[in-house]
Amino acid sequence: MKIPDDLHYSSDHEWARASATTVRVGITDYAQDALGDVVFVELPKVGTPIAVGASLGEVESTKSVSEIYAPVGGTISAINDALSAAPELVNSDPYGEGWICEITTTGGADYDALLDASGYAALTNN
């Protein structure tokens, strides 16, 4: 299982990658593996304000349906439209083409509170 060192992680198995004012969000390799084959992703709406821990949408797989939770607060500023036609990108490239959305934040405190790679590895026993 991949746990890139350059990302931060939530205990709900979302990853976050910060740039200047946005945080790109997706589900981790651990989460996509536990879900199995992803067949549908419910994406949030651009412009929606979101609080830390609030539901961003859902990932439906052949095994179950799971909520996606916001690892940071802010406003949804972009979504990965490619997932509408190819939800399997969440499985094949969870840290790249399988990203879910981007959140414009007002500060870095939420991001800084997330787990680093070693903390997430300890959480998942990897």
Distances in Å between the Cα of 84 and the Cα atoms of 1, 2, 10, 38 are 25, 24, 24, 11
Q: What is the mean pLDDT of each run of 10 residues along the chain (126 residues)?
A: 95 94 96 96 97 95 94 97 97 97 88 95 90
pLDDT at 12: 95
pLDDT of residue 126: 76
The whole-model pTM stands at 0.94
The reported pLDDT for the residue numbered 20 is 84
Q: Which pLDDT score is estimated for 1?
A: 85
Fold of the domain built from segment(s) 8-123: OB fold (Dihydrolipoamide Acetyltransferase, E2P) (2.40.50)
CB 32 within 8 A of CB 98: yes
The domain ranges of the chain are 8-123
Determine how many CB atoms are found less than 10 A away from the CB of residue 54: 13
Collect all residues with Cβ–Cβ distance below 8 Å to 6 and sequence separation of at least 6: 17
